[in-house]
Structure 1
């Protein structure tokens, strides 16, 4: 009986650990995607500002 009880406790903790590991994996993946998308937005914004500044500069030169 003790062997079966230990085995069921082990299975319970293994399942709980697996669930927490999966949750942390999902959170980590979401955070990485957030960082990548934020970096991409910053690059696009900088390109837009560079283009806008260059365009205004060209219009003012005329």
Structure 2
């Protein structure tokens, strides 16, 4: 089964639009703020594990999951 050129073109356009939207989202101030908050949450979890008596290596491993 072969794909018609018009189908390929349509898929290429949709993919290009999706990639452009994704790139715009990644560059947005809201996305940067969201990532900053996620990083803060990871740091809080890591420190909580250490305060609970885990080693730094154990805390890091626990934060991976």
Greater Rg, structure 1 or structure 2? 1
Q: Same fold (TM over 0.5)?
A: no
The structure that is helix-richer by fraction is 1
Q: TM-score range by the shorter chain?
A: 0.3 to 0.5
